[in-house]
Structure 1
Amino acid sequence: MTESKMLLPKKATIWEVCPRDGFQMEEEWIPTEDKIRLIRLFANTGIKNIEVTSFVHPRAIPQLKDAEEVVKSVQDLTDVKFRALIPNLKGAERAIGSGIKKLKLLLSATDSHSLSNSNATVKDAQAKLLPIVELANKSNVEVSGSIAVAFGCPFEGKVPVERILTILEDYRKMGITEISLADTSGTGDPKLIYDVLGLVKQEFPEFTFSMHLHNTRGMAFANAVAALQQNVTIFDSSTAGLGGCPYAPNAAGNIASEDIVHAFHEMGVETGIDLDKLLEAAKEVKNTIGHDGGSFLLKAGPNSQLHCKPKGQIKLG
């Protein structure tokens, strides 16, 4: 019998988003020094990419009102690339002034989510991104884009792929070719992920796509494998599975960093991250915040964690 093998990439890149996506959903204030301490723990695991905060108005997300202080306090971690989510020009100015060298733009696939999230239609919201891009170019700062609810909207349901293609074309006109596709409300499934990625990669071969997967319905890892099969190798994840979207009803946290790293390593897809250190960081997140967001490894441990064999004889019959 001929042995068949699943063809997967050899490496994947993880962007840790707990300091932004995870912390933003916590109602109880997380002291700034705890945020900084946890970011340093993430960096110690071998994670090289961290979405460190969002420069949003403090009234919108009070938890991230200390964005400047957090960013300025981790500038010594020079082997880590820090990214910040940017909702508007004022946020971009604050981020760049704090030392951020990569901005991630915020955009939705549907008008309903965009009005809820940004108080503007998709067309109007995208037009407001142009001054941010111009400022970033003048400041020698990288810019990536995103499309929230790309695989399903909690208000409008399934999103026609033609709408995604239109948004991507507008991004291309702005000179942005690195795009995060987000399953914000966790409505995507592996076939949908595979099919949509196949189409967008065909239509925009010069683009670099990444995945932002929420585990609302337990399909985040299956969706990650579907993305790998399309040779998409960049993934957002959140240590301890924290996260969610305040503008997407019932949205759960991101896929847990320790879960996706563990599974990728088991499949021979390397991330450069020390799983043992990452699991310790996840435990510290849970201890600090008071809960996790649905981490399987925090409950069961890695596959390598074996248990004592049962003693005594087995009686049959």
Structure 2
Amino acid sequence: NQTRGSDFVLMGIFTHSPTHTFLFALVLGIFTVAVLGNTAMVLLIYLDTQLHTPMYFLLSQLSLMDLTLICTTVPKMAFNYLSGRKSISLAGCGAQIFFYVSLLGAECFLLATMAYDRYVAICQPLRYPVLMSQKICGLMTASSWILGSLDGIIEVAVALSFSYCGAREIPHFFCDVPALLTLSCTDTVMFERMIFICCVIMLLFPVAIIVASYARVILAVVRMGSGEGRRKAFATCSSHLMVVGLYYGAAMFIYMRPASHRSPTQDKMVSAFYTILTPMLNPLIYSVRNKEVARAFMKIFCCDSTLTKTATDPT
């Protein structure tokens, strides 16, 4: 019995078979790339003054959220796998739930804010400095963090107030609310309904904003006379839509299905996708097709002195 007192047991996602050992090493590689990529994005946007615009500020916040999200789940999973221990304390479980739920909610609202930013930039370019001023952008970002944190506080407070019995084995690689509720000795129907309502607000409301914003954007782009302007607008928006599709598709699959249709294996696989793989893909999606990010990377990390000399040399 690996539980002590009020500890839970995380069943994990890997065994010690050769195949799972390889997959675990792959996850560590993805984790490393995600941490380096998101950290680089935050530093690039902070250090390069040409990237001090609302669009890149929001992108830096997305990278910060992804960085925190992947650090919430993978280190504990890796420690348990390597040490052979599976236990997690009640406080540790509560911390994972809080950060996980808060970051998911905050990212939902931030993605909606990023869609609104693209709508204003493309459809209302003359009013962009007013509608997306530094103050308004800061308020929108702060609201995303605050709303996500409120959702996290509510869910962790209620989830940990229930009584849990039996083996206290969570069929997951981190403390997720739906997986935790399967261990409860008390009736959780009302709480599950509350979670569903929260998911409607946290997922469908931002999706409605994103759909409305990009419907206007697509109409505006189609009407553009300049082929170069149309290409640039589609390149910028397509990156954001790829991230939205990856993130919301997985989140809705997990949290908006009836409990009777869920299986622990499916939940673990999909959760691994959007808590481990998506944080790695986001900086790659935004940087590979973005010339300004590539320029900033070359300037700061590779050849800052060369670019400075070229700029000052009259020949």
TM-score of the superposed pair, with normalisation by structure 1: 0.26
The structure with higher relative contact order (CA 8 Å, sep 6+) is: 2
Considering fraction of residues, name the structure with more strand: 1
Larger CA Rg, structure 1 vs 2: 2
